[in-house]
Amino acid sequence: MIRAAILGASGFVGAELLRLCAGHPGLKPVRLFGDSQAGLPLEHVHPHLALAYPGAKIDRFQPELLEGIDLVFAALPHGHSQAIAPELIDRGIPLVDLGADFRLREPAEYERWYKEPHQAPELLSRFVYGIPELHRAQIAVSKTVAAAGCYPTSAILALRPLLSLIEPDTILVDAASGVTGAGRALKDETHFATVDENFTAYGLLSHRHTAEMEMELGGRILFTPHLAPMNRGILATCYGVAARDMDPEEPLEALRAAYRHEPFVHVSERAPSTKWTLGSNAVHLTARYDPRTGRVLAVAALDNLVKGAAGQMIQCANLMLGFEETAGLSRVGVYP
């Protein structure tokens, strides 16, 4: 049994990690860390987990509490992992980090998009970008993985097999996320009265996840995120000018060929829905070529807390630790 620690256990992603680990045959969370809820029993912070983790509590992080830990999941705001990663690496503890700290390959790119210098640039090259469908072999032999962001996961999986069909520098990504993507902290923009019966764009021209999309897809990408009045889910609608004329179904067939053997990717002619993915590690994709406009269209749906966060972290950990890649993860959504 792998003894795991979770940094950021009091947040939405921390809760989802705990929910998924409760059904995992080889991962056991034994240390739960969080600042804002430190000292509280887990059942007070996440009542839905009470039966799975009786007696568990949230501690404030101290390095000495990592004694005997075999794996660390870090679900922290950007900037925090930079301070912790060096010690974890020195201790030889495998780390799956969900923050943005180690996703980008170049320190200058981090500073450009996050408006501050990277505090551990010498470690960037040690981290593998954590989308298993694209970097499975590298993840399996690494001890340090930076799980991809939720928006980039949807857009990258939708577009990567289609790059040969699209003109560079013409990609547009419009994506909508549920409110949990903003984290658990109270904010005016995620207040019920703000979100309910509302749909809004944000991060115009400057959203940080653009950097990951450009890193994995190449070219210049215009990305516009939107906040949808729902708890979970991401729907990404992606466009690009076609490189040539083609059959309208050719992009769909390219997706099918690329993901034919992937356990968590479903490709269909139907336009995907976020509710199909609720609670699962699945990604639903479709694509078309529009001869009228000369553009390729690709659409992806996923659960931002599972495949966009905790599920992807566990999928990476399974590869790193030699478990079945699907261990503890469902391909089946909750419906209705």
- Is-catalytic flag, 150? yes
Here the tokens at position 86 are 């060096």
* Catalytic residue chosen out of the listed positions 21, 150, 238, 316: 150
Query: Do you know the residue count of the chain?
Result: 336
Q: Specify the pairing of strand 295-302 against strand 283-290.
A: antiparallel
Question: Rounded to whole angstroms, how far apart are CA atoms 212 and 208?
Answer: 8
Tell me the H-state helices in 169-268: 192-195, 210-217, 250-258
Binning the chain into helix, strand and coil, the percentages to the nearest 5 are 35, 20, 40
Q: List, in sequence order, every residue forming a beta bridge with 288; answer none if it has no partner.
A: 297
List active site positions: 150
